[in-house]
Structure 1
């Protein structure tokens, strides 16, 4: 099954809003839990990354560091 960016966007919106139902292209899918919704999101995102339809640029920035300065 080929996934679309529209499906990924619908899943992102549902996760952000806390809704368990997702609508796209005239279809509606109801998930049992937020965990199921997040699993679906990860599956669709992974598929889109693997097919080259989605770029991982900017989402994997690698390690970061924090410097804290104080005057003693």
Structure 2
């Protein structure tokens, strides 16, 4: 049975979460998203490059799937009025 595009995107996001947890803990070995194997990196810099590539692939795939790149907010401005 083939995975749907949404399942593939979810698996890529799980892989990114596992990579982020490994980077935060300092471990250089990461389990694959489907728990079928593991990847061992030589250095933290190599993990950063792999993460950047994975984020780019996720954004490209999501853009092709949903018809556009995700919008990112650069600045949030909040205004309000006090009754005081």
- Distance in 2 (alpha carbons) for counterparts of 1:7 and 1:15: 12
In structure 1, the gaps of 5 or more residues are: 65-72
TM-superposed deviation, 1:6: 1.9
User: How high is the TM-score relative to the length of structure 2?
Assistant: 0.59
What is the aligned residue count? 61
Partner of 2:74: 62
- Normalized per residue, the structure richer in helix is 2
Query: What CA RMSD, in Å, does the superposition of the two structures yield over aligned residues?
Result: 2.6
- Aligned match for 1:16, one of 7, 10, 24: 24
Question: By how many angstroms is 1:56 displaced?
Answer: 4.5
Structure number with greater CO (CA < 8 Å, separation at least 6) is: 1
| TM-score, with structure 1 as normaliser | 0.67
